[in-house]
Chains A and B, each alone.
Chain A
């Protein structure tokens, strides 16, 4: 399995809702990422997990809460979002090779709309 799978593909939520985005990979990658991508913009890094530990938080608001329950799964819990948080949320994974940076394998994304 050489894919990163994200669910759901689309999500519409109200500003008072709580929802979660899920990401799964079975490539044995020990680095996993959440990116946010607005239309016609590059992916913007939010969080990095390395060996199931949070290693990078790009000053993301606390209404986004990541979780890495095991080496194959990555979740993003959403609470009290704002309409400007509407975007494509991409999960990615990479093999870890010491301190070397490696290619990211992206999921197909969750298209989130906050109403």
Chain B
């Protein structure tokens, strides 16, 4: 089955700095890579996603890059703000539609 590794497990940055979270996956058939943000006590919410036919996608301060050859994808957050503090999960979905494998999560803390 699919295996997703996520690093780092914790990340602390100063407000205004950039944050990068990386994930690797094992199944070359995976073709959809969403990123979810989960604030304390709240539900996971999709913040950005990318499909395997695209190398990069941006949405304001958030971007995701995908390297299919190396089987890794990364989340980039620029100009971080305290409200970006949360747990971020990457996920990979493949041939078995509906089944996503999540990374273990990254706790991001943005210090004002």
Q: A-side interface residues toward B, CB under 8 Å?
A: 31, 33, 40-45, 48, 50, 55-56, 90, 94, 96, 99-109
Classify chain B's interface size: 20 to 34
- Enumerate chain A residues within 8 angstroms of B103, measured Cβ to Cβ: 42
Instruction: Tell me the dominant secondary structure on chain B's binding face.
Output: loop
Interface check B85, CB cutoff 8 A: no
- Enumerate chain B residues within 8 angstroms of A90, measured Cβ to Cβ: 43-44
CB-CB contacts below 8 Å: B89-105 with A: 89, 93-100, 102-105
Instruction: Knowing A50-B98, A56-B96, say if A101 contacts B43 (CB, 8 Å).
Output: no
- Enumerate chain A residues within 8 angstroms of B31, measured Cβ to Cβ: 101
- Enumerate chain A residues within 8 angstroms of B32, measured Cβ to Cβ: 100-102
The reply to whether B99 and A48 form a contact with Cβ atoms under 8 Å apart is yes
A104 and B104 alpha carbons, distance in the complex (Å): 17
A-B contact pairs, 27 of them (CB 8 A): A33-B98, A41-B104, A41-B105, A42-B105, A43-B44, A43-B102, A45-B99, A45-B100, A50-B97, A55-B98, A56-B98, A94-B98, A96-B97, A99-B95, A100-B32, A101-B31, A101-B93, A101-B97, A104-B44, A104-B46, A104-B100, A105-B46, A106-B43, A106-B45, A107-B43, A108-B43, A109-B43
